[in-house]
Chain A
Amino acid sequence: MTKPDLSVNIGKIKMKNPVTVASGTFGFGQEMADFYDLGRLGAITVKGTSLEPWSGNDYPRTVETPSGMLNAIGLQNDGLDAFVNEKLPFLRQFDVPVIVNVVGQSVYEYARVSEVLGKTEGVHGLELNVSCPNVKKGCLAFGNSPEGIAEVVKAVREVTDLTLITKLSPNVTDVVSIAKAAVEAGSDALSLINTLLGVAIDPWRKKFRLANITGGLSGPAVKPIALRMVWQVAQAVDVPIIGMGGIMNEMDAVEFMLAGADAVAVGTGNFVNPMAAVEIIDGIEEYLASANISDVKQIVGAVGK
């Protein structure tokens, strides 16, 4: 049998395989390029980028929990200018689409960052981060209601033709209504899930473990919730979905695609195994070949009851 076709499209983004990385777990690529050719990825999704530099939250910012971790980084980044001038030139040397995760404290900031990136060579898509639970202003404040998410997506849609991917929060009661609002407002695709809000406590010191008190839970512990949300949203919308949440190996990735994800993102798995993303690409190919499936798109949403 010939090699299975792994290519997928997310809006106008042509991915040679369905595997990208989750924003915030891959920096801007430089550190991970020590381990493999970044051109092997279907796409690179870089860290949240804001209009001005953000210093993030106080330390401690991470804590391990059973089969997962909490983080409260607070979207520390050096801002839009530093990304365009210092980070992007490095990424342009690889044959891989670049998706920039966009964050802001106001609708104006989302639109301004998106407008500039839309005119910047080497940026192929924008992931609107309206779901980070770790910042006090903006972000999740927009993502936790259909009206808020629509406001951001519309404002960004007006200033750029780049593929827009809206990243959804699991910290809501009805993810489907929010997904629909994002699509109706002009989002070309959706990614889900962002982290789940949690806390961890040190019983001996009787104190919260994170300086921010609350943080976002990621890792294998969240996978069943992420799978459920991807499946629910895939039933309700007609745009591509990038599924993520605890993907550690190729079988996790296949589960997400069977649930309705067109592509997947590896997040916390990068920390445990820096080679995880490329091993998952190879593993998906082997899975398809052994199941006699010629095109990865055939498994999207193919879960049976």
Chain B
Amino acid sequence: MKGIYNCEVIAHSEVSPGVIRSLLHCPEIVRQAQPGQFVNVRVAATTTDPLLRRPFSVHAVYPNEGLFSLLYVLVGRGTALMNKIAAGENVSVVGPLGRGFDLGDSTGAQHIIVAGGCGAAPLHFLSDRLCALWGCENVKVLTGARSKNALLCEAEFISHGVEVVVSTDDGSYGHHGLVTELLQRRLFNSQLETHNSQHIRVYSCGPNAMMREVARIAHEAGVPNCQVSLENNMACGLGVCMGCVQKIKGPVPGDTSGNNWHRERVCKDGPVFNAEDIIWD
């Protein structure tokens, strides 16, 4: 059950310029969190500006120590304030929230993770859990970024024991091009991939344009299960305000307006959705 927890901030570390990993102590969240879920942190406890909590995806859990980590890019006031909470201070955390990734229910599947930029944050937790469940030999990570400096979590993915293929937009490291080109290659080059597409599962997090392309490629390849983790602007994070909605195929029951779509809450019905259900704007 989700709750509100006072979590001790253990440490912040700068993993690359402008990218922070924060380590927090909270055995309750560590016990409950599933890959793809997020927590909502009150980064300004004593003022009303900023007023709202900030959502952060769970990057890793360390069950023996009761610790979990968040990985984020310093982009605005919320992330800057998060980074300034001193080690040893407590911070109010609501979570774990949202619907995480469906990890499958049988062995024999090939699990392909497609990460873009800071979208690698929740996929690191996913990779760890998939490895534990289905064996690292069945998990592949395709991860991309603008340039080598912006690439996240490569070493951590490798430390899990999974195969990792890298791309950069500027060609400074790995494949020169988009990470979606790696997916295209992987799914359509029969010399590289001997598995039947029916047994492939794709998981993705990154910029919307990238995930839209991941969804298209997976669909064309006949992959039956492609999941994407969205990041819409949230107010409550709890599912009560209806602010962070995404257009989803199909009408709601009883809708006589003729709409062949409806809106679902990214914070509660997601952030992970089946790619086939999404209407990409």
Contacts and interface: CB of A to CB of B under 8 A. Distances in A.
Interface of A: 24-27, 31-32, 34-35, 47, 52-53, 55-56, 59-64, 66-69, 71, 73, 76, 78-79, 81-82, 219-220, 248, 268, 270-275
Nearest to A61: B243
Given A31-B239, A219-B51, 10 more contacts: A31-B240, A34-B2, A34-B3, A55-B263, A59-B245, A60-B232, A62-B244, A71-B235, A76-B242, A270-B236
Interface string B53-70: 100000000000000000
A55 B257 contact: yes
B191 interface: no
Ordered nearest first, which 6 A-B pairs have the shortest CB separation? A62-B243, A27-B240, A271-B236, A62-B235, A67-B48, A31-B239
Contact of A64 (B4, B52, B239, B268): B52
A23 to B, nearest CB: 11
Most buried by B among A25, A62, A275: A62
Interface stretch (B131-139, B165-173, B246-254): B246-254
B48 A220 contact: yes
Nearest to A80: B254
A71 B243 contact: yes
A197 to B, nearest CB: 17
A63 B246 CA distance: 16
B241 A25 contact: yes
The residue in B53, B243, B254 that gathers the most chain A C-beta atoms within 10 A of its C-beta is B243
B4 A275 contact: yes
B94 A52 contact: no
A272 B42 contact: yes
B233 interface: yes
Interface in B213-259: 232-246, 252-257, 259
Nearest to B233: A60
Contacts of A78: 252-254
17 contacts: A24-B241, A25-B240, A25-B241, A26-B240, A31-B238, A52-B256, A53-B254, A59-B246, A61-B245, A62-B235, A62-B244, A64-B50, A64-B51, A71-B243, A76-B263, A273-B42, A274-B4
Contact of A32 (B240, B254, B255, B263): B240
Given A35-B4, A60-B233, A76-B263, A53 B239 contact: no
Contact of B49 (A24, A66, A275): A66
A53 B236 contact: no
A79 B257 CA distance: 12
Interface hub of B50, B238, B256 (most chain A Cβ within 10 A): B238
A271 B241 contact: yes
A234 B170 CA distance: 65
A98 to B, nearest CB: 16
B233 A69 contact: no
B1 interface: yes
Contacts of A64: 50-52, 235
Contacts of B175: none
Contact of A268 (B1, B51, B245): B51
Contacts of B253: 78, 82
B146 interface: no
